[in-house]
Amino acid sequence: MNNHRTPVVIPNAEHPISRDQINASALKVLNGLKAAGYASFLVGGCVRDLMLGREPKDFDVVTDAHPEEVRELFRNSRLIGRRFQLVHVRFGREIIEVATFRAAPVEAGENSAQQLSDEGRILRDNVFGNQEEDALRRDFTVNALYFDATDFSIVDYVDGVEDLKQGVLRVIGDPEQRYREDPVRLLRAVRFAAKLGFRLSEDAERPIHDVASQLDEVPPARRFEELLKLFHGGSAVETFELLRHYRLFQYIFPLTEISLTREQDGFPLALIPRALANTDNRINNDKPVTPAFLLAVMLWYPMKQKAEQMIADGMSWHEASQFAGQWVIQQQSKATSVPRRFSTPMREIWNLQSRLERRAGKRAFRLLEHPRFRAAYDFLVLRADIGEVEQELADWWTEFQEVGESEQRSMVSKLSGGGKKKGRRRRRKADD
Ligand code: ATP
Ligand code: MG
């Protein structure tokens, strides 16, 4: 970055951010750095969100102090080194992340601190720089705004404030090159567009198709992290639509993409948006969500299709569903990691689906005690919504949870007495 830019500086009086909107712990860190004579800024998502009148998820601080210097300044801090060195300052349960200004990637030699792979991907990224360089290495203009703790102004090297006003997501620098350096930026583009209701600039859109396949080079663990941000950010419905629109969904859920494109009975495309709408609702009402449920939704049809194939090949239903469960996890793990703490409950949700149909005797009462009952019931309700199972079955379980014990007993006894048809009824047959 040879030619120096002068940033646009928006004084305190001319932007909407006031100090009382800033997290108290973040303010302590900012003031601590300032008192020690270092530059101290808020940066990234928190500045963007505050400018938009949204509540930031977290407050990131950036400074010209080196990590060891930051570490020495705050008793309650520690150095952490993932892709680059950062300092975490802890205040009770809260952690404020402090980064040092870093530079954008340059042509790197063998021994430099910055390394690029053959495809231009950044492998290591630990070069300190000045504020301008720090701004230019960020992904989108709206993510590169700084809030200055000394005079409470906004510092903007990339016309990010204008893009915020226009609702445009614009890549800093050459979009294709920036996507190739880190293909996860493709997913981030979709994530921010969906969450903020922004559109991608034409330049940001154009290279997506050509670079997309580079996502296969991103390690599954990092893709899983991004998956959670994509679908547990409160805008999962829009995110799903945009991921499919830009043909990026297949790099996170390859088997699901296949079941969507080969869709014969309409179920996958009905289930997923409904489930995601539920997830968004829960998140926006501060209710807990679990990746196990998301995975159960996304991988349900791939699992079922595999199981049906195994059954056609002569395997028993029970064996086939266990085999298919394992196979799906194994396949998915090539794209995103599937931690066991999520895959185990996911499979329980699946296994409980057929058990929810068998309610006679003590079975229904036992199921109610199952640790995964609630998630399995929620999943059943979704399947009933789209006509994959009888609505009566879902309604029965809804009622069963609401009534007292004696009524529960009578509900169960009515089941065995009546000529109620068991088994699943489908709106349309899968093989037609
Ligand atoms: P969120 O509200 O989802 O946390 P965010 O903008 O804070 O959004 P983070 O992933 O927390 O996103 O990253 C913080 C900042 O770091 C971003 O705003 C951006 O400036 C920079 N950044 C993060 N990831 C990348 C990346 N892959 N490439 C370039 N810059 C990045
Ligand atoms: Mg953030």
Q: What is the pLDDT of residues 292-307, one digit of tens each?
A: 999 999 999 999 999 9
Say which DSSP state 75 is in.
T
Contact 131, 155 (CB under 8 A): yes
Query: What number is the average pLDDT over the span 1-6?
Result: 69
Q: Which residue is catalytic, options 49, 60, 148, 265?
A: 60
pLDDT band at 426 (very low <50, low <70, confident <90, very high): very low
Q: Which entry of 49, 134, 139, 156 is annotated as an active-site residue?
A: 139
Q: Can you tell me the distance from the alpha carbon of 191 to that of 344, in angstroms, rounded to the nearest whole number?
A: 27
- CATH for 298-431, options being 3.40.50.11890, 3.40.800.20, 3.40.50.720, 1.10.3090.10: 1.10.3090.10
Which pLDDT score is estimated for 5? Answer: 82
- Considering only CA atoms, which residue is closest to atom 8 of ligand 1? 45
What is the pLDDT averaged over residues 4-20? 93
**Is the shortest distance between the CB of 359 and ligand 1 below 6 Å?**
no
What pLDDT sits at residue 314?
A: 96
* Residue 60 among the catalytic residues: yes
3-state class of 388 per DSSP? coil
Mutate to test the pocket of ligand 1, among 96, 143, 171 (most ligand atoms within 8 A of CB): 143
- 157 pLDDT more than 90: yes
Task: Please state, in angstroms and as integers, the Cα–Cα distance from residue 231 to each residue in 193, 243, 280, 325, following that order.
Answer: 13, 11, 8, 22
* Smallest CA separation from ligand 1 atom 15, residue: 44
Q: Please, which pLDDT band fits residue 110 given cuts at 50, 70 and 90?
A: very low
Give the ligand at the shortest distance from the Cα of 188: 1
Position 430 pLDDT exceeds 50: no
What mean pLDDT is reported for the chain? Answer: 91
Q: Say if residue 316's pLDDT is above 50.
A: yes
More confident residue, 104 or 160: 160
Per CATH, which fold does 8-166 belong to? Beta Polymerase; domain 2 (3.30.460)
Q: From CA 139, how far away is CA 157, in angstroms rounded?
A: 13
Q: What is the mean pLDDT of residues 305-312?
A: 95
Q: What are the pLDDT digits (tens) for 351-395?
A: 999 999 999 989 999 999 999 999 999 999 999 999 999 999 999
Which are the contacts of 210, defined by CB distance < 8 A and separation ≥ 6?
176
Tell me how far the alpha carbon of residue 45 lies from the centroid of ligand 2, in angstroms: 5
Q: How confident is the model at residue 106 (pLDDT cuts 50, 70, 90)?
A: low
320 pLDDT exceeds 90? yes
On the CB side of 226, CA atoms within 13 Å amount to: 27
Smallest CA-to-CA distance from 124 within 186, 181, 43, 176 is with: 181
Domain borders along the chain are: 8-166, 298-431
Cβ of 144 closer than 6 Å to ligand 1, yes or no, is yes
Condensed to tens digits (0 to 9), the pLDDT of residues 234-272 reads 999 999 999 999 999 999 999 999 999 887 777 888 999
385-424 pLDDT, tens digit per residue, is 999 999 999 999 999 999 999 999 999 999 865 444 444 4
Nearest to 98 by CA among 123, 129, 73: 73
Indicate the pTM of the whole model: 0.91
pLDDT (0 to 100) of residue 422: 47
Ligand at minimal distance from the CA of 140 is: 1
> What DSSP state is assigned to residue 7?
P
What is the 7 CA–ligand 2 centroid distance (Å)? 23
Q: Which of 366, 369, 393 is nearest to 379 (CA)?
A: 393
- Mean per-residue pLDDT for 199-222? 98
Instruction: Name the closest-CA residue to atom 11, ligand 1.
Output: 45
CB of 232 closer than 6 angstroms to any ligand 1 atom: no
pLDDT confidence tier of residue 28, bands split at 50, 70 and 90: very high
CA atoms within a 13 Å half-sphere pointing along the CA-CB vector of 74: 27
Cα(246) to ligand 2 centroid in Å equals 24
Predicted local distance difference test score (pLDDT) of residue 120: 61
Whether 139 is a known active-site residue: answer: yes
pLDDT in the model for residue 410: 95
Using the predicted structure, report yes or no on whether residue 66 has a pLDDT greater than 70: yes
